[in-house]
């Protein structure tokens, strides 16, 4: 699971939960933890507008 593919995954309506912990920690190695959380939140919002 990455920021690149989470957009398509959250668009699948039956999906209501994602396990994104590993992806966030991996991204946090290259950016700050807050930056990684913010980037993942933005990707999720992009895939499922209105949430």
List pLDDT tens digits, range 1-43.
898 999 999 989 888 888 999 999 999 999 999 999 999 999 9
| Domain total in the chain | 1
pTM over 0.85: no
Range of the domain at 42: 3-47
User: Can you give the pLDDT at residue 15?
Assistant: 86
User: Can you give the pLDDT at residue 51?
Assistant: 62
Contacts of 15 (CB under 8 A, 6+ apart): 9
Asked if 48 and 10 count as a contact pair (C-beta separation under 8 A), the reply is yes
User: Can you give the pLDDT at residue 13?
Assistant: 85
């Amino acid at each position: 699971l990455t920021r690149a593919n989470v957009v398509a995954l959250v668009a699948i309506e039956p999906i209501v939960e994602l396990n994104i912990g590993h992806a966030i920690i991996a991204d946090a190695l290259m950016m700050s933890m807050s930056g990684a959380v913010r980037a993942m939140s933005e990707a999720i919002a992009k895939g499922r507008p209105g949430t």
